[in-house]
């Protein structure tokens, strides 16, 4: 059967499943709409959280990031998982006990301040919108590659599917589609990974295969990979990093950012009990880790596979890498998967030295330049987009066409599940925090439900528009979304639970400090509002203060948030007694669901 038909069948079947769930899981009340009725099993929620969390970037780009950066990019692996430890211990159980529907609701109530509530809404909307654009464009890429439709049509189809289950089902529809999407995406990710691990190492478990013997050379796989990449002028795959301060701060920024992202936090409002929130965080990380411990294996193996495809002599055990390097394959003899990705423009070839062979090496390396000249090379000839590694895996490993169909459905599932979670966070902040809690407190249950649906539809349209016309900041998800969530939201949420002394003024000052210092540092290097050419300093390591990159600043922003909030609170009046009682009540599981109703509510 034609590959195109198979892809349509797989993606179509997954859509039929999501729409079936949408029909079954319609929201009947605002509690259904915001927190899926609050009765989701902790393991179910763990699975939904994993799909909510693992975006198009996790599914498609992470293995490529690891393949390109090796050890240095371990930061993403640790950062995007370590945040769950913070979430499980410092936020999720207490916010579940608080028993409200949104993150700004806790900040507004705990700090008895509508200013704090509004700052939280603004931070949430900036972080989530930045994040959702990447999901829409990711879905567009997956559609256009596998379903042969235009990018624009792909984004519209994605928007329509999310519309069907998110507008009618709210969190309830989203939760159960996310479970289905998790199953699709994890199967799609692991099957090709198992095959490539078997192919290279004979070990079917990728996370073990990565640390075992490369069959063809009889050497440890990572050892072989280090030798091959260094023979071509690249940094060793496992090489240590010099700038450890930046590595630590970047990892910490990703961790506090992960813990502070509202679309993840609200997933923990859907479980019945406080204890369930704790277990559920553990399950979420188990389901996430299935992909995250596989990704480094996919990255390292795909890199080795690519290089030994170009330089077949490097695959065997050899002492003479220079000879192997001078015997790359003829362009004519390139395998079929390189040909099919050339059609998409994600692999390009230019025969710079007109020898009809492919040279793939690091032409940025000064140390390697002499050798390249000696070999008669005139620059790297094969440009490979890192994002294709996961998508091309089934073709590289010669897997049957249905696996490619599965990958197509998996990529779309990863993008849609994260988009839906983000859209719910945005729309509930608008309908619950802005409309119900600020503008029109007397709105009826039915009125709020309608407002929630309209906000959701509006958020989807906005995301679609931005996906079709990505603004400059769309590429800055890591710096902007994680920076703001980590520097602004995470610290006040934590202080709101662990300190009774932090008051309204302290929280507002802290959030603004975290938000503004982080934005200032990012804008200094990436341009004011990311407008090219408006940056005050070039974004190069020499210019960074103490070698701290703009993406790593979130952790420092968070520290300043803590410091300012403590300082301001200590010179202003302590929170009123009812607030101190509220803090007490979120600390103890007893009586969940009966959180005290406060005057400002």
Partner 1 sequence: MADDNTNAAAYWKANVRTILGCLVVWAFVSYGCAILFRPLLAGIPIGGTDLGFWFAQQGSILTFIALIFFYAWKMNRLDAKYSLGE
Q: Which residues bind partner 1 (CB under 8 A)?
A: 66, 71, 74, 77-78, 81-82, 84-85, 88-90, 93, 207, 210-212, 219-224, 226, 238, 240-241, 244, 247-248, 251-252, 273-275, 278-279, 281-282, 285-286, 289, 292-293, 296, 498, 584, 587-592
To partner 1, the closest distance from the beta carbon of 340 in angstroms equals: 30
Q: Half-sphere exposure of residue 234, counting CA atoms within 13 Å on the CB side?
A: 19
Contacts of 550 (CB under 8 A, 6+ apart): 479, 521, 522, 524, 525, 526, 539, 544
Report how far residue 597's alpha carbon sits from residue 109's, in angstroms, rounded to the nearest whole number.
Answer: 9
Cβ proximity to partner 1: between 221 and 434 the closer is: 221
DSSP strand pairing (382-384 vs 219-220):
unpaired
Structure-token match 């990711």, residue found: 138
To partner 1, the closest distance from the beta carbon of 65 in angstroms equals: 12
Cβ proximity to partner 1: between 89 and 536 the closer is: 89
Report how far residue 81's alpha carbon sits from residue 76's, in angstroms, rounded to the nearest whole number.
Answer: 8
Cβ proximity to partner 1: between 15 and 84 the closer is: 84
To partner 1, the closest distance from the beta carbon of 92 in angstroms equals: 10
Q: Classify residue 49 as exposed, middle or buried by CB count within 10 Å of its CB (0-12, 13-18, 19+).
A: buried
DSSP 598: P
**Can you name the residues that pair with 383 across neighbouring β-strands?**
348
To partner 1, the closest distance from the beta carbon of 114 in angstroms equals: 29
Cβ proximity to partner 1: between 244 and 446 the closer is: 244
Secondary structure (3-state) at 349: strand
Cβ proximity to partner 1: between 55 and 81 the closer is: 81
Cβ proximity of 411 and 60 under 8 Å: yes
To partner 1, the closest distance from the beta carbon of 292 in angstroms equals: 6
Can you list the positions of beta strands (E) in 369-431? Answer: 382-384
To partner 1, the closest distance from the beta carbon of 7 in angstroms equals: 32
Cβ proximity to partner 1: between 240 and 319 the closer is: 240
CA–chain centroid gap for 530, Å, is: 21
* Structure-token pair, residue 234: 């690249």
Cβ proximity of 561 and 123 under 8 Å: no
**Can you name the residues that pair with 220 across neighbouring β-strands?**
213
Q: Is the dihedral of CA 293, 299, 305, 307 positive or negative?
A: negative
CA–chain centroid gap for 86, Å, is: 17
* Structure-token pair, residue 518: 């982080």
To partner 1, the closest distance from the beta carbon of 190 in angstroms equals: 15
Give one DSSP letter per residue of 455-503, joined into a string. HHHHHHHHHHHHHHS--GGGGGIIIIIIHHIIIIIHHHHHHHHH-SS--
Residue 446: how many CB atoms within 10 A of its CB? 10
Cβ proximity to partner 1: between 314 and 399 the closer is: 314
To partner 1, the closest distance from the beta carbon of 424 in angstroms equals: 24
Cβ proximity to partner 1: between 62 and 425 the closer is: 62
**Can you name the residues that pair with 357 across neighbouring β-strands?**
330
Cβ proximity to partner 1: between 308 and 455 the closer is: 308
Return the percent helix, strand and coil in the chain, to nearest 5: 75, 0, 25
Most distant CA pair in the chain: distance in Å?
80
Report how far residue 216's alpha carbon sits from residue 200's, in angstroms, rounded to the nearest whole number.
Answer: 7
Cβ proximity to partner 1: between 185 and 435 the closer is: 185
* Structure-token pair, residue 304: 């080795």
Cβ proximity to partner 1: between 275 and 567 the closer is: 275
Cβ proximity of 601 and 109 under 8 Å: yes
To partner 1, the closest distance from the beta carbon of 38 in angstroms equals: 13
Cβ proximity to partner 1: between 4 and 498 the closer is: 498
Residue 415: how many CB atoms within 10 A of its CB? 31
Dihedral angle over CA of 589, 591, 593, 598, nearest 10: -100
To partner 1, the closest distance from the beta carbon of 422 in angstroms equals: 24
Report how far residue 84's alpha carbon sits from residue 46's, in angstroms, rounded to the nearest whole number.
Answer: 11
Secondary structure (3-state) at 213: strand
Cβ proximity to partner 1: between 247 and 407 the closer is: 247
Report how far residue 267's alpha carbon sits from residue 36's, in angstroms, rounded to the nearest whole number.
Answer: 9
Cβ proximity to partner 1: between 275 and 563 the closer is: 275
């Amino acid at each position: 059967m034609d590959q195109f038909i198979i892809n349509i069948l797989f993606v179509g079947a997954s859509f039929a499943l999501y729409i079936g769930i949408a029909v079954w899981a319609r929201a009947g009340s605002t509690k259904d709409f915001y927190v899926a009725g609050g009765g989701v099993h902790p393991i179910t929620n763990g699975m939904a959280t994993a799909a909510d969390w693992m975006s198009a970037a996790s599914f498609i780009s992470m293995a490529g990031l690891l393949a390109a950066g090796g050890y240095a990019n371990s930061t993403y692996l640790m950062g995007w998982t370590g945040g769950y430890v913070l979430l499980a211990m410092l936020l999720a159980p207490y916010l579940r006990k608080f028993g409200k529907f949104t993150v700004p609701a806790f900040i507004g109530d705990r700090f008895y301040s509508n200013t704090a509530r509004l700052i939280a809404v603004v931070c949430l909307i900036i972080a989530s919108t930045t994040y959702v654009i990447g999901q829409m464009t990711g879905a567009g890429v997956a559609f256009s590659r596998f379903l042969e439709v235009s990018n624009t049509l792909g984004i519209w189809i994605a928007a329509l599917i999310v519309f069907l289950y998110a507008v009618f089902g709210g969190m309830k529809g989203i939760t159960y589609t996310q479970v289905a999407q998790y199953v699709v995406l994890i199967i799609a990710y692991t099957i090709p990974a198992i095959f490539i691990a078997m192919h290279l190492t004979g070990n079917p478990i990728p996370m073990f295969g990565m640390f075992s013997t490369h069959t063809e050379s009889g050497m440890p796989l990572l050892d072989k990979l280090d030798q091959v990449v260094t023979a071509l002028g690249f940094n060793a795959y496992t090489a240590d990093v010099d700038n450890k301060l930046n590595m630590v701060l970047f990892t910490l920024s990703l961790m506090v950012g992960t813990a502070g992202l509202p679309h993840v936090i609200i997933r923990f409002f859907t479980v019945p009990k406080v204890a369930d929130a704790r277990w559920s965080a553990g399950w979420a990380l188990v389901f996430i880790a299935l992909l995250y411990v596989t990704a480094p294996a996919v990255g390292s193996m795909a890199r080795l596979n690519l290089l030994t495809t170009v330089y077949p002599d490097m695959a065997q055990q050899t002492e003479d890498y220079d000879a192997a390097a001078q015997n790359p394959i003829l362009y004519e003899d390139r395998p079929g998967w390189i040909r099919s990705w050339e059609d998409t423009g994600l692999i390009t070839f230019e025969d710079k030295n007109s020898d009809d062979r492919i040279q793939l090496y690091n032409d940025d390396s000064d140390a390697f330049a002499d050798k390249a000249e000696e070999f008669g090379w005139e620059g790297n000839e094969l440009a490979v987009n890192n994002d294709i590694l996961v998508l091309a895996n089934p073709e590289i490993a010669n897997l049957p066409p249905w696996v490619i169909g599965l990958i197509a459905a998996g990529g779309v599932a990863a993008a849609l599940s994260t988009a839906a979670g983000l859209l719910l966070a945005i729309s509930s902040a608008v309908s619950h925090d802005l409309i119900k809690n600020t503008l029109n407190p007397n709105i009826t249950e039915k009125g709020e439900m309608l407002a929630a649906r309209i906000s959701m539809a509006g958020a989807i349209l906005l995301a679609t528009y931005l996906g079709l016309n990505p603004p400059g900041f769309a590429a800055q998800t890591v710096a902007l979304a994680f920076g703001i969530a980590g520097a602004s939201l995470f610290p006040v949420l934590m202080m709101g639970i662990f300190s009774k002394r932090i008051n309204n003024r302290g929280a507002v000052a802290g959030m603004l400090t975290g938000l503004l210092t982080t934005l200032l540092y990012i804008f200094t290097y990436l341009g004011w509002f990311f407008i090219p050419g408006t940056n005050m300093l070039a974004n190069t390591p020499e210019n960074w203060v103490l070698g701290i990159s703009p993406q790593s600043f979130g952790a420092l922003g968070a520290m300043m948030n803590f410091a300012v909030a403590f300082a301001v609170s200590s010179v202003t009046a302590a929170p009123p007694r009812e607030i101190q009682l509220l803090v007490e009540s979120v600390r103890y599981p007893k009586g969940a669901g009966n959180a005290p109703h406060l005057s400002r509510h």
